Amino acid sequence: MKVVKSVKEMHLISGQLRLDGKKIGFVPTMGYLHEGHLSLVRKSKENSDITVVSIFVNPTQFAPTEDLDKYPRDFERDEMLLNQENVDFLFYPDKDEIYPEGFSTFVEVGEITKVLEGESRPNHFKGVTTIVSILFNIVKPHYSVFGQKDAQQASVIRKMTSDLHFDIEIEIAPIVREKDGLAMSSRNVYLNQKEREDALVLSKSLYLAEDLIKKGERDFNVIKEKMIGVISQAETAYLDYIQAVESDSFSKVNLFEKGKSYFVLIACRIGRTRLIDNLLIQIN
């Protein structure tokens, strides 16, 4: 695996790979990699000739009150893990090259970024779509993989890719969970032992929702009440939102209809750590 730091070098490499007729797969990350990230890497390896992974902790997607400074980093471990996966290129640019002084261009998707994560983290998606556009332009992928764990982010990227006519296929890979159900996240490292136990209420409440839906419940308000019951069992949990949305448009729903698919999404603070999780359901 070659580590590429400079934007110019990455441009040249990607340009040459395209000239050589190679299909470039791309997995953008903020590092501190776990099995969830590695599952995206494996998907990219399966579906392209060359896989590029980027590690860049993107400052524009963090609010001043958020965890940019303490966001976990371990470049050496990440490099070793990506080497083991036989990744071809690791793009690891400096902040000052991505956002030089005077940088003033942002990419903003409408509607879908205004709800849920967009309500709780007002400028977050603008930062995400801006950095992903920048990285797409540098890496020039044919194919890019995002995780369903950040379901709204994945839909926002799909919308941006389609609206801006990026000629890139976007794939969404399933959530990878710890054995006990906790969705993998770099932020799980912030949890102490008690919080780690309490964090299970996110997946437990989603499993309960899934079970109720399987048994025929179609009223989301009934399901939500029961999910809140699960969350309230954890002393350190503070609920931000529980919401059902149509899977494509992300418009909020109260009743599940036959033939449609939905996300049930949850955001919850466990102690000082904000976690998100979701469930994709198809109503037959």
CB 270 within 8 A of CB 276: no
Shortest separation between residue 7's beta carbon and ligand PAF, angstroms: 16
Please identify, using beta-carbon distances, which residue of 66 and 235 lies nearer to ligand PAF: 66
Shortest separation between residue 249's beta carbon and ligand PAF, angstroms: 21
| Structure tokens belonging to residue 133 | 């556009």
Please identify, using beta-carbon distances, which residue of 58 and 278 lies nearer to ligand PAF: 58
Residue among 116, 128, 201, 266 that touches ligand PAF (CB under 6 A): 128
Catalytic residue of the set 11, 37, 124, 165: 37
- 116 scored as a contact of ligand PAF (CB under 6 A): no
Query: What character string, x for contact with ligand PAF (CB under 6 A) and - otherwise, covers 140-169?
Result: ----------x--x----------------
CA distance 149 to 266: 11
Q: What is the DSSP track for 100-115?
A: -TT--------GGGSS
Neighbours of 86 (CB within 10 A): 11
Please identify, using beta-carbon distances, which residue of 131 and 138 lies nearer to ligand PAF: 131
* 37 assigned to active site: yes
Neighbours of 74 (CB within 10 A): 14
Q: Please write down the long-range contacts of 243-247, taking CB distance under 8 Å and 24 or more positions apart.
A: 243/115, 243/116, 244/220, 245/115, 245/116, 247/155, 247/280
Residues 23-82 that bind ligand PAF (CB under 6 A): 28-30, 58, 61
261-270 sheet: strands from edge to edge: 237-246, 261-270, 273-282
Nearest to 139 by CA among 2, 38, 1, 18: 18
- Contacting range for ligand PAF; rule: CB under 6 A; set: 44-52, 125-133, 165-173, 260-268: 125-133
Query: What character string, x for contact with ligand PAF (CB under 6 A) and - otherwise, covers 202-231?
Result: ------------------------------
Shortest separation between residue 277's beta carbon and ligand PAF, angstroms: 14
Please identify, using beta-carbon distances, which residue of 28 and 93 lies nearer to ligand PAF: 28
Helix (H) and strand (E) counts in the chain = 10, 9
Nearest to 191 by CA among 279, 268, 76: 268
Active site residues: 37
Interface residues with ligand PAF (CB under 6 A) are 28-30, 58, 61, 128, 131-132, 150, 153
